[in-house]
C-alpha cells in the first residue's frame, strides 16, 4: 500500500487528509445518536489499531521490539489518542461538531507553546509570542464568555483541551523519541495499540461509576446502524488510513508543509456541520476561527534566511 501511495501526488493526499480528519467531527456527532462518548473513543482507537496492524503486516513493516520504545510511545499515545479522542467526542455532547472542529484549530499554537516549555532547543521569538497570544485571543472570541449566545463554555473548553493534548503529544514525541527510529506506519500502529487499553479502561471505569453497560445502547436504537457505520469509518479511515496518509505527506514534503493541513481541518469540520447537520456559527465564532487559524499560519512560517553581504 505504501508503494502505491508513493505514486500519488502529495497534494492529493494532503487534501484527502484534510477532508478525512475534518469529517471526523461529523462522524462523532452521528455516533452519539446511539452510543456513549466513551464507547466511541474506545471503538475508534480499537478499530484503528486493527486496521493499522493489518496494513503493517501486509507491508511487512516491523514493529519496535524493545520495551523502552513501546513505553515512550505509550506516553505519547496518551496525549495523541486516548485524551483527545475522548475529549472531542465528550465535547460534542454539549456543542456542535463545527464548534468542536474549531477547538482543534488550537493544535499548532499549543504545539509551539509546549515546545517552548519542553524542548531546550526551542527559543521564544516575537513571532512565536505573537502567535500564541493571537491564538488565545481567538479562542476567547469563539467561546464568548461575555455572551449567552456563544457555544456551551464547558463543552468548548473540553474541545480546546483536546487540541492542546495534541500539542503536548507531538512535543513529547519529538523529545522522547529523538534519535529513536520507528519506521513507516509502525509509529501510528504502536500509538493505537497502546492507546486502546487506556480508552478501554476509561470506558469500563466510567460505566461502573455511572452504572451503565459498556456494551449497551445509549440513545435511539433505530439510529444504531448509522452510528456503528460512522464509528467504523471514523476508526478505519478517519484514524487508521489518515495516519498513513499523514506519514506519506511528511515523507514527501517534510513535517513543516504537512502540518499546514491543520489550517484546513476546521474549515472542513464547519462546512460539513453546516451543510449536513444544519449547524450555525455566530459572527464572533467565525471571527475567532479566522484569528485562531491565522495564528496557526503565523506559527508555521519560517524566518527568512539572512543573505550574506557581498564581499
| Residue spans of the chain under pLDDT 70 | 1-6, 254-257, 300-311
Give me the pLDDT at residue 184, please.
76
Do the domain assignments include residue 309? no
Query: Where on the phi/psi map is residue 254: left (φ > 0), alpha (ψ -120 to 50), or beta?
Result: left
Do the domain assignments include residue 306? no
Give me the pLDDT at residue 243, please.
85
CA distances from 290 to 14, 17, 128 (A): 21, 21, 18
Residue 282, phi then psi, degrees to nearest 5: -80, 175
Give me the pLDDT at residue 35, please.
95
What pTM was estimated for this model as a whole? 0.89
Q: Give the range of the structural domain holding residue 126, as residue numbers without chain letter.
A: 2-213+220-300
Do the domain assignments include residue 60? yes
Do the domain assignments include residue 310? no
SS percent in the chain: helix, strand, coil, step 5: 75, 0, 25
95: its cell numbers: 456543542
CA-closest candidate to residue 170, choices 157, 187, 155: 187
284: its cell numbers: 464572533
Q: Is 129 helix (H, G, I), strand (E, B) or coil?
A: helix
Give me the pLDDT at residue 246, please.
84
Do the domain assignments include residue 20? yes
223: its cell numbers: 439510529
Q: Do residues 308 and 59 lie in contact, with contact meaning Cβ atoms separated by under 8 Å?
A: no
Give me the pLDDT at residue 307, please.
46
Give me the pLDDT at residue 304, please.
56
| Helices and strands (H, E) in the chain, number of each type | 15, 0
Q: Do residues 243 and 188 lie in contact, with contact meaning Cβ atoms separated by under 8 Å?
A: yes
Q: Do residues 103 and 160 lie in contact, with contact meaning Cβ atoms separated by under 8 Å?
A: yes
Do the domain assignments include residue 144? yes
Give me the pLDDT at residue 311, please.
43
200: its cell numbers: 478501554
176: its cell numbers: 522522547
Do the domain assignments include residue 287? yes
Domain count across the chain: 1
Give me the pLDDT at residue 236, please.
96
Amino acid at each position: 500500500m505504501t508503494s502505491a501511495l508513493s505514486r500519488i501526488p502529495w497534494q492529493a493526499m494532503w487534501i484527502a487528509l484534510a477532508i478525512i480528519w475534518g469529517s471526523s467531527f461529523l462522524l462523532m456527532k452521528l455516533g452519539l445518536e446511539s452510543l456513549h462518548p466513551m464507547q466511541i473513543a474506545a471503538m475508534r482507537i480499537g478499530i484503528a489499531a486493527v486496521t493499522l496492524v493489518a496494513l503493517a503486516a501486509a507491508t511487512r513493516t516491523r514493529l519496535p521490539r524493545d520495551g523502552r520504545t513501546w513505553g515512550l510511545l505509550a506516553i505519547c499515545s496518551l496525549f495523541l489518542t486516548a485524551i483527545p479522542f475522548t475529549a472531542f467526542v465528550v465535547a460534542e455532547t454539549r456543542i456542535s461538531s463545527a464548534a468542536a472542529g474549531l477547538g482543534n484549530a488550537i493544535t499548532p499554537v499549543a504545539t509551539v507553546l509546549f515546545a517552548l516549555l519542553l524542548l531546550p532547543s526551542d527559543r521564544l521569538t516575537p513571532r512565536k509570542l505573537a502567535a500564541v497570544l493571537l491564538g488565545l485571543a481567538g479562542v476567547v472570541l469563539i467561546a464568548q464568555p461575555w455572551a449567552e449566545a456563544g457555544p456551551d463554555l464547558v463543552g468548548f473548553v473540553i474541545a480546546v483541551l483536546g487540541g492542546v493534548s495534541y500539542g503536548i503529544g507531538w512535543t513529547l514525541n519529538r523529545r522522547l523519541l529523538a534519535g529513536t527510529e520507528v519506521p513507516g506506519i509502525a509509529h501510528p500502529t504502536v500509538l493505537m495499540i497502546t492507546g486502546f487499553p487506556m480508552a478501554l479502561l476509561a470506558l469500563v471505569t466510567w460505566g461502573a461509576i455511572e452504572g451503565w453497560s459498556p456494551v449497551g445502547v445509549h440513545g435511539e436504537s433505530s439510529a444504531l446502524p448509522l452510528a456503528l457505520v460512522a464509528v467504523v469509518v471514523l476508526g478505519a479511515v478517519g484514524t487508521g488510513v489518515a495516519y498513513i496518509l499523514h506519514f506519506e505527506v511528511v515523507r514527501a514534503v517534510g513535517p513543516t508543509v504537512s502540518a499546514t493541513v491543520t489550517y484546513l481541518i476546521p474549515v472542513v469540520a464547519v462546512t460539513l456541520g453546516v451543510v449536513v447537520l444544519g449547524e450555525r456559527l455566530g459572527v464572533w465564532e467565525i471571527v475567532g476561527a479566522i484569528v485562531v487559524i491565522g495564528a496557526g499560519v503565523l506559527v508555521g512560517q519560517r524566518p527568512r534566511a539572512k543573505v550574506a553581504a557581498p564581499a
